[in-house]
Structure 1
Amino acid sequence: MFLVVASFLICATALYLWLFYEKVRRYPKGPTPLPIVGNLLSVNFRKLHEELSEYSKVYGNVFTVWLPMPYVVITDYEAIKEAFAKKGEDFSGRCNSFPDSAFQNVENGGVIFSEVI
């Protein structure tokens, strides 16, 4: 019985890690995240602007930081202009994480609580 449970846990962990790092590959390059915590352990939040500046020197003007959700950071004016002016529809909408998702599509919520479709 122990062998079956141990085998299942090992397979489930391996599958989770494989799916997690497949998801990481779809985003722009950045520091390698750990499962569950992302880059939380390696980011200095007291000097976040300096940390992101160092990442831009290493990974380029567009990179991803996992806190533990992925955040794509754009540090170049031309890249920002291309992202929001030329490809604005790709960036429209709202975040699907907790405080936003709890208030989206509230009946009679007006512009603030509506989802852009």
Structure 2
Amino acid sequence: MPGRPETPIHPGVDSPVRELAEQLRELRRASGLSYRALQQRSGYRAGTLSRAASGRQLPTMPVVAAFAEAAGLSAPERARLEELWQQSVSRSGDHLHVHAMPAVLV
């Protein structure tokens, strides 16, 4: 797969956010697509998708859904990923801000 290697997820990242980030990274690896290819398929910028899988913050559900669809997940697989996102929000509590990730391609 083209592109540079991803930066490891920092060990201090909250486990719910880490788990989701690891799932998104695995999804991208399994799809064989670069972030630029996912950008073309999802409508979100490559940087937005990369940040979603970075573990630095919990991405919004629309970003996660677009990431999953662009990577070719089936509807049941996308539903499981959405459930993981919901669990991440619930388990993270109020101390975690769910940031909107703008930068949708026009």
**Which TM-score applies when normalising by structure 2?**
0.31
- The answer to which structure, 1 or 2, has the higher relative contact order (CA under 8 A, 6+ apart) is 2
Structure with the larger helix share = 2
Structure with the larger strand share = 1
